[in-house]
Chains A and B, each alone.
Chain A
Amino acid sequence: MSYIGSHIFDRELKKGSAELLILSLVEDQPRHGYDIGNLIEQRSEGALKFNVASLYPLLYRLEKRGWIQGRWVEKAGQRRRRYYRLTAEGKKILAAQRSSWREFVEAVNRITGIEHA
């Protein structure tokens, strides 16, 4: 998929998948917003990119739904940062969304024949 430039991604598609991306990233350890944005960009090798305007409303929405939880953390010699961690509820959603996404991608692939091309 790497040959697809980020600008080609449909905004809706991105929005739909973004929840899954964020939930995945905070699954193992709590992360702050900047960290999450960076990781998405790095791991997608630049194909996916979130800016302030798109990332934070999404974080707040997930938090409001109770799927992730944000907490201000102060570390010695640093400014306090807001870290997000996955809630129990979020874990279930993540599992469900993963399988749903997998099915979706497989279905799309089966139709478009990408895997077998």
Chain B
Amino acid sequence: MPDWEEEIRRRLVRLRLAPTREAEIIEELAQHLDDRYEESLRGGATEDEARQVVLLELTESDLLARDLCRVECPVWQEPATPEARRSTNMLGDFWQDLHYGLRMLAKNPGFTIVAVVALALGIGANSAIFSVVNTVLLRPLPYKDPDRLMMVWEDDAKGGFPRDTPAAANYIDWRDQNQVFEGMAAIANESFNMTGAGEPERIDGRRVSANLFSLLGVEPLMGRAFTPEEDQPGSNRVVIMSHGLWQLRFGSETKIIGSSLTLNGESFAVVGVMPPHFQFPSRDDELWVPIAFSSQEATNRGRHYLQVIARTKPGVTVEQAQAEMNTIAARLQQQYPDSNTELGATVTPLHEHVVGDIKPALLVLWGAVGFVLLVACANVANLLLARAAVRQKEIAVRVALGASRPRLIRQFLTESMLLAVLGGIVGLLLSLWGVNLLKAFIPENISQAQAVAIDGRALSFTILVSLLTGLVFGLAPATQTSNFNLNETLKEGGRDSATGSRGHRIRGLLVITEVAVSLVLLIGAGLLINSFLRLLNVDPGFRADKLLTMRVVLPELKYPDQTRRTAFYTELVSRIETLPGVQSAAVTNWIPLVLQGDSQGISIEGRPDPGPGKNPIVVTRVVSPHYFNTMGIQLLRGRQFGEQDRVDAPRVVVVSQEMARRFWSGEDPLGKRIKTGGVNSPSPWMEIVGVAKDVRQVKLDADPKPQMYVPYAQPVFFQPSHLVVRTDVEPRSLAASVRRTVWGIDKDQPVSNISTMEDVLSESLARQRFSMLLLGIFAAVALVLAAVGIYGVMSYSVAQRTHEIGIRMALGAQASDVLKLAIGGGLKLVTIGIVIGLVAAYVLTRVMSSLLFGVTATDPLTFIGVSVSLVIVALMACFVPARRATKVDPLIALRYE
């Protein structure tokens, strides 16, 4: 008999098996071949023929080695397979998977639509919010080396203004004495009455240092920037205009350079037009003129009205700049104790100043959309799991036919990626629409808000998020299904389709995640809504309904003294009060909620002087006689101003409740006297004749500050500029006739910022409304997704337990027992989710405490209320499938067996 052992050994040698194992295999295989040989001989074959038959058994010796190796080799290595073929296979597999995946998705349109919509909501919200975050927070400001641009403030923390606008003399000292800045520029508010062509128009602009544009590194589109010579009083009648104004008012006329404009009654030569999108410091600014400090201005340390921007020298850090400014401020304190005592200087990066307010809100929203996406992922993973359960048979057959595990995982991942990409595409379309919607909600004072768009970065972010999403929600079902034990699957498969306890666990975990994450979002939204409602309930101190407001700023050239200004406003108010539909009218320097400023230090008669710079600061409003009536501000004590409070009459003042409380606690403020400035200042004593209810002058969410009202007819420091009209009718309907009345007195007098007080109030809440609405929407989306998820899992679980329920009912269980059983299972998951969610919310809501008003970040009522609502929604999601369970007919259910 031939020696087969050698033949076999030759074929196995490269497998490098353990010697004993190799010997065993050789022995067993050789025996087989011996048997075959003998059988052939018995069948009448010659020895040679028999030998041929046996060798045939070994023809596929490559296969033998490979298959043996799969079983016996410690680590699987595919012997002698050329690399090229493998990669072709992988590509081929990929196309096959893709094709197959598309077919599966097309076959289940319901599943596909639900999954794609869930993902699109998550991805779309993410890319929309990211595009805002990207534009507002991440993208560098559109200036040269924006990192080196700083804002420099006066630090009057003791007076309640840690970031105050500096006085001109202080700015000039800072500019001249520092070694850390390459340049420093000052900016002052200015608005211009533009007359000459067409209706007079009020245009916002700024007085700026000549070097501002070169400091920012922005060149005018046409013409030139200011020269240092133009930054001197007398030679400063030059103006640069914005691209928008040039287009709208001057029809993009190129000959505009060198022509002249009449601003506040004076002629200015146009020297430049800025490029489109240039907006500095705010987007309302349309005209810039040289600041050209007069000699009085340049030495004044008492009027704080400048914004100062500076560019650090290369390599100078914010800290170094701050240290230098501290030194200078300390020196100025010693030099000018009267004005500069306790006055510091603060350096903040320009970027921080620009994004400051909205940053926490945006970061919270960014986190929130991440959570929404997480819920969407959990939902789709759930759907995939449920579907995988249905596809168990298909998978079983594929495994039985030799599909390997990695191959199955690849197939599943391809399908989930496909879903993610579809979700990403739809999400991108959603976000294009969402970004436009967001723009409408972004508070107007956020610069660059209008530049928000889906750019390359936002697009890459979306693609990345989509792919990551596909991986996250695809991985769990993929490993779960491919990990299945053919044995266990087929065993359980005897009864309907099932996925075993592992599948249950994963689905349970997903429901818990969804509930927990939704709860965090809902609590966040609940806190914001709660805050917002409290803000709406804050008593602003005035009646905002039926109140028309507008700006009427008199140019100094035409109305150089107070007599003329008072005459104009007196005439205006009396004419307006005769208009039909008008109850009363008044003027003031600032209406509430639009400006933080126009404050003065005061001294109280009979009290010791606190020393220079330490006088209490009060908000000052200059008002005409009917102001309190018109605004609906309640007068608590004394009287309001009347016609008798003229320039030659004794000086009078009305103080606010807060001011009375702070300075005359336990005393009667009426009859007491105060003056502006120090006790020894030349300003006259003013007698307190009334106490008015507090008005929120600055913000609804800031406590009222002490404030005083002075009659506009007596010598005042601040000029009236706003008109308020109380009406019997819809206020806006009177706008045109009020404007005509203004022009009836002075045809060149512009009227601007026409608005109702209700709109002003609502605008002041824009930032809060923005955060509340968005977080509310995201939480609602998460809630719906979670409810759908819970519903899906419960339906699935009920369907699976039909048999068990049938037995229970056959044994006498009532519908209510079954209902309890079915709901109980869901409720357990929901409860675990809520407990985890509460803990997470307790930790996470702290990040949003700066966005809250009147509630703490861990407000127990919100926490409990939201949890209860979520439980109710979850119960409803459980109830429908549970009810279906009670309808199970035991006979039919048992026939499943």
Contacts and interface: CB of A to CB of B under 8 A. Distances in A.
Contacts of B61: 53
Interface in B415-437: none
Interface in B359-403: 393, 396-397, 400-402
Contacts of A92: 487, 491
B451 to A, nearest CB: 59
Nearest to B21: A60
Contacts of A52: 29, 32-33, 57-58, 64
Contact of A12 (B68, B71, B401, B491): B401
Nearest to A20: B400
Contact of B56 (A15, A16, A51): A51
Contacts of B35: 34
Interface residues of A, number: 32
A16 B33 contact: no
Contacts of A61: 70-71
A18 B840 CA distance: 54
A42 interface: no
B269 interface: no
B397 A53 contact: no
A45 interface: no
B764 to A, nearest CB: 69
Contact of A54 (B33, B63, B491): B63
B32 A37 contact: yes
B267 interface: no
A37 B28 CA distance: 13
A26 B750 CA distance: 104
B69 to A, nearest CB: 8
Contacts of A57: 64, 67-68, 70-71
Which of A13, A33, A34, A79 is most buried by chain B, counting CB atoms within 10 A of its CB? A34
B443 interface: no
Contacts of B58: 51-53
Interface in B757-787: none
Which of A37, A53, A60, A100 is most buried by chain B, counting CB atoms within 10 A of its CB? A53
A96 B494 contact: yes
Which of A95, A100, A104 is most buried by chain B, counting CB atoms within 10 A of its CB? A100
Nearest to A89: B487
A19 B487 CA distance: 13
A53 B67 contact: yes
B349 interface: no
Contacts of A37: 32
A55 B486 CA distance: 21
Given A33-B32, A52-B32, A99 B68 contact: no
B400 to A, nearest CB: 4
B889 interface: no
B402 A96 contact: no
Contacts of A34: 31-32, 35-36
A81 interface: yes
Contacts of A40: none
Contacts of A82: 24, 28
Contacts of B396: 100
A58 interface: yes
Given A34-B35, A34-B36, A64-B71, A56 B393 contact: no
B490 interface: yes
Given A33-B28, A34-B32, A51 B493 contact: no
A95 B57 CA distance: 31
Interface of B (DSSP majority class): helix
Interface of A (DSSP majority class): helix
Contact of A53 (B28, B64, B401, B402): B64
A3 to B, nearest CB: 23
B401 A103 contact: no
Contact of A60 (B31, B32, B57, B68): B68
A93 interface: yes
Contacts of A53: 57-61, 63-64, 67
Contact of B402 (A12, A79, A99): A12
Interface string B63-89: 110011011100000000000000000
B393 A103 contact: yes
A86 B69 CA distance: 23
A97 interface: yes
Contacts of A56: 25, 28-29, 32, 64, 68
Nearest to A15: B402
Interface string A23-62: 0000000000110010000000000000111111110110
Contacts of B25: 56, 60
Contacts of B60: 51, 53-54
Contacts of B494: 96, 99
Interface in B521-545: none
B655 to A, nearest CB: 90
A66 to B, nearest CB: 10
Contact of B67 (A54, A89, A93, A97): A54
Nearest to A50: B57
A109 to B, nearest CB: 15
A55 B35 CA distance: 15
A13 B401 contact: yes
B170 to A, nearest CB: 86
Contacts of A58: 67
Contacts of B402: 12, 15-16
Interface string B466-508: 0000000000000000000011001101100000000000000
Contacts of B33: 52
B491 A60 contact: no
A12 B400 CA distance: 9
A93 B487 CA distance: 6
A13 B396 CA distance: 13
Interface in A58-111: 58, 60-61, 64, 79, 81-82, 89, 92-93, 95-97, 99-100, 103-104
A87 to B, nearest CB: 12
A54 B71 CA distance: 12
Contacts of A95: 491
A62 to B, nearest CB: 9
Nearest to A79: B31
A19 to B, nearest CB: 8
Nearest to A53: B64
A57 B161 CA distance: 85
A52 to B, nearest CB: 4
29 contacts: A13-B401, A16-B401, A19-B400, A34-B35, A51-B58, A51-B60, A52-B58, A53-B57, A53-B59, A54-B64, A54-B67, A55-B32, A56-B28, A56-B64, A57-B68, A57-B71, A60-B68, A60-B72, A61-B70, A61-B71, A81-B31, A89-B487, A93-B486, A93-B487, A93-B490, A96-B486, A99-B494, A100-B393, A100-B400
Given A53-B57, A82-B24, A100-B397, 12 more contacts: A33-B32, A34-B32, A51-B60, A52-B33, A53-B63, A53-B64, A57-B64, A57-B70, A92-B491, A96-B486, A99-B494, A100-B490
> Closest 6 CB pairs between A and B?
A57-B67, A96-B490, A53-B64, A51-B57, A16-B401, A53-B60
